[in-house]
Amino acid sequence: MRIGFILVSVILVDNFVLSKFLGICPFLGVSKKFSSAIGMSGAVTFVMALSAAATWPIYHFLLAPNDLGYLRTLTFILIIAMLVQIVEILLKRFIPALYSALGVYLPLITTNCAVLGVTLLNITEDYSFIESVVNAAGGGIGFGIALIMFSGVREKLETCNLPKAFRGMPAVLIAASIVSLSFAGFAGLAEGIFGSIGG
Amino acid sequence: MNKALKTVKNGIFDENPTLKLFLGMCPSLAVTTSASNAIGMGLATTAVLICSNAVISSLRRVIPKEVRLPAYIVIVAGFVTAVSLLMEAYLPALYKSLGLFLSLIVVNCIILGRAEMFASKNTVFLSVCDGLGMGLGFTSSLLLISSVREILGSLSWFGISLAGEGSGMLFFIVPAGGFFVLGMISAVINRITKYRISKVKPGCKSCPAANVCGGNCEEEAKA
């Protein structure tokens, strides 16, 4: 039940991009084309789940028992940076097909605040290991949904005849505002489905 | 001295990180629901930016080229931890309302971007000026966005009520309002500066991952 609650709320209700403002840079940067949006969201979901799985045991078995909790930002960002490099090397060697699809997006993920954000949130929310991984994977899926939907909006926006001042970034931001407003319609959905146990 | 002033001015106006280069978007949308949050975030980022620029610039001949990004990240993360511990001790209310985004200063593209673009190539003094300019540019744009959002959304400014009765338009406080206000402000700036901005693109020179990806992301987006 609680897992389902976390999954629904992180994908739809508290969407990482549209309501928590995590990962805005790739959201605005890589949403120009549908195909690159899919590649980016695949890579982000993968790295987010993996880094949540890697940082949780390090925090709970290494940092917290030794009273080093305040070092978590520093430790987590290094773990994520290292993980991204390792994933890149492994994919290149063993799954070249996946590497050619996700490869270019991987280096950009180190500085994606959604990845560091989710690992830190898992600690402050006191999630268990399974819940952390579900939260991270769900966050990645939510990021993907927002990115892919938004790339559709942007492809239409390209052909519009906009006032000169709104061309480029202003129009993109206002379109993002409307997409974000539509996601606000999901408020209360998770409580509706699962009751208020998760709260 | 002239060069130093020019560097500071460059950060505030010509290359304003938020409104012209569209860097560091996450905090500029997330914490701008009230003006005091925006000032807190802006000054915290400025402090980290100045310190990390100074240290990175003074170590620029020591750090090997191959491992410079991890080295920069460690330096920045160290200062972020220090700033957030100080804020937790002396400004607990602000610390609480900034929450996660205080730690996320580490991955703010402005800081790594400036380290890579400026601090690794210039003297310590100029790098400090650059950090100050960029930080003030960031702070002033946060203040602008948050003033619009707070005044329209909760009819107050820095927590001081402006209208007495009434509760303001909720739209400007919710996330959608953040995107909307930033979009409107950048459209107005486009108009005032006669559309010169749209030519300034962040591109690869400000992206810390540029040397790893070699411009592949841009190519991919164009293709």
Q: What is the pLDDT of residues B56-107, one digit of tens each?
A: 999 988 988 878 888 888 899 999 999 999 999 999 988 988 888 888 888 8
Q: What is the pLDDT of residues B176-217, one digit of tens each?
A: 888 999 999 988 888 887 655 444 455 555 554 444 444 444
State residue A154's pLDDT score: 87
DSSP state, A112? Answer: -
State residue B43's pLDDT score: 92
Note whether A77 contacts B107, CB cutoff 8 Å.
yes
Q: Distance between CA B175 and CA B116 in Å, rounded?
A: 31
Facing A177 at nearest CB: one of B107, B179, B195: B179
The structure tokens listed for B208 are: 């810390």
What is the distance in angstroms between the Cα of B132 and the nearest Cα belonging to chain A?
22
Give me the mean pLDDT over the B26-47 stretch: 89
**Ramachandran region, residue B195 (left: φ > 0; alpha: ψ -120 to 50; beta: rest):** left
Instruction: Please list every residue in chain B whose beta carbon sits closer than 8 Å to the beta carbon of residue A32.
Output: 221
**What are the C-alpha distances in Å from B43 to residues A80, B46, B77, B78?**
27, 5, 16, 17
Please state, for a pLDDT cut of 90, what percent of chain B lies above it. 28
Provide ipTM, 2 decimals: 0.84
**What are the C-alpha distances in Å from B46 to residues A121, B57, B67?**
24, 16, 25
State residue B57's pLDDT score: 92
Contact B78, A74 (CB under 8 A): yes
Q: Distance between CA A51 and CA A48 in Å, rounded?
A: 5
What is the greatest pairwise CA distance in chain B? 61
What is the distance in angstroms between the Cα of B25 and the nearest Cα belonging to chain A?
6
Q: Distance between CA B27 and CA A130 in Å, rounded?
A: 29
Confirm whether pTM is higher than 0.80. Answer: yes
Side chain identity, residue A90: L
Count, in order, helices (H) and strands (E) of chain A: 10, 0
DSSP state, A23? Answer: S
Please state the φ and ψ torsions of residue B36, each to the nearest 5 degrees.
-70, -35
State residue A199's pLDDT score: 43
Instruction: Please list every residue in chain A whose beta carbon sits closer than 8 Å to the beta carbon of residue B77.
Output: 73-74, 77-78
Q: Distance between CA B187 and CA B204 in Å, rounded?
A: 24
State residue A78's pLDDT score: 87
User: CB-based contacts of B152: which residues, under 8 Å, 6+ apart?
Assistant: B168, B169, B172
Please state the φ and ψ torsions of residue B26, each to the nearest 5 degrees.
-60, -55
What is the distance in angstroms between the Cα of A168 and the nearest Cα belonging to chain B?
7
Asked whether the predicted pLDDT for residue B221 surpasses 50, the reply is no
pLDDT class for B219, splitting at 50, 70, 90? very low
